[in-house]
Amino acid sequence: MNRLGRNTIERLARMGFGARGIVYCIVGGLALLAALGQGGRAGDSESAIRWVFLGPFGVILVGLIALGLFGFATWRLVESVTDADRHGTSAKGIVVRLAHFGSGIVAAGLGITAASLALGLGRSAGGGDGLQDWTAWLLAKPFGPWLVGLIGLGIIGGGIAFLVKAWKGDVTDRLALDEAHCRWVKPLGQFGYGARGIAFLIIGGFVIVAAWYQASSEVKGLAGAFSALRSQPYGSVLLGIVAAGHLAFGVYGLIQAWYRYIDAPDLDETDDAVLRAARSFQ
């Protein structure tokens, strides 16, 4: 089997899993160094990309990351609409596909940030205010606090789903690996999904607090989740564990880039795949 991909969408997907894996390796690695007092920074994905940008060949590397993130966004959007991963039209399947669609939107936004840096359009811009800006915009709309609260509940639901996946251990089901390799990839993936689940629970809690007080300043992303962990008793230990989990999630993403089953329609087949998916709802 050609792991590089049989068609354009599959190649974009594999590039995307690789780019996402690299970003989370950096996020987890820097946060782990911070927990160990070795000078790292417990930040989010955007801060990780900015860290790459400031290093050697930063413009080129960030540009490649941007391309990969756009590839991941394309795959997630195509996969969720065409049901390429065969989640179906049950309530659970629809929720998973909507979550994947949302992750595609997030990846596209992060890709725009990376592309802006690579093109010299956002070198002096600070990170971390985007979530608060969007929350402030939404809070100002009719029923805004309720909508923000629902988003917070959705993020918490995603965190619970990650934790359940980590507990059940079905993280290698879509990987083309033999049993010997799955024995070490499985705990790696479980550790990564568990760490992501904890982060989602904390982030979702921040969003619900923002909805309750109608204050966008209460919204914090992954950097805020890391900070919340560090402020707890034995905070450095907690941060270190969750940071190491994000590093594991990044390594798991690199494994997905090469070994994940991806049954994607090609570009000229996407329209037909969308029509078939639409008929499945009838």
Give the 3-state secondary structure of the chain.
CCCCCCCHHHHHHHHHHHHHHHHHHHHHHHHHHHHCCCCCCCCCHHHHHHHHHCCCCHHHHHHHHHHHHHHHHHHHHHHHHHCCCCCCCCHHHHHHHHHHHHHHHHHHHHHHHHHHHHCCCCCCCCCCCHHHHHHHHHHCCCCHHHHHHHHHHHHHHHHHHHHHHHHHCCCCCCECCCHHHHHHHHHHHHHHHHHHHHHHHHHHHHHHHHHHHCCHHHCCCHHHHHHHHHCCCCHHHHHHHHHHHHHHHHHHHHHHHHHECCCCCCHHHHHHHHHHHHHCCC
Tens of pLDDT, residue by residue over 82-133, are: 888 888 889 889 999 999 999 999 999 999 999 999 998 765 444 445 788 8
Give the pLDDT confidence of 155-210 residue by residue, as tens digits. 999 999 999 999 999 899 999 998 889 999 999 999 999 999 999 999 999 999 99
Q: What mean pLDDT, rounded, does the chain reach?
A: 89
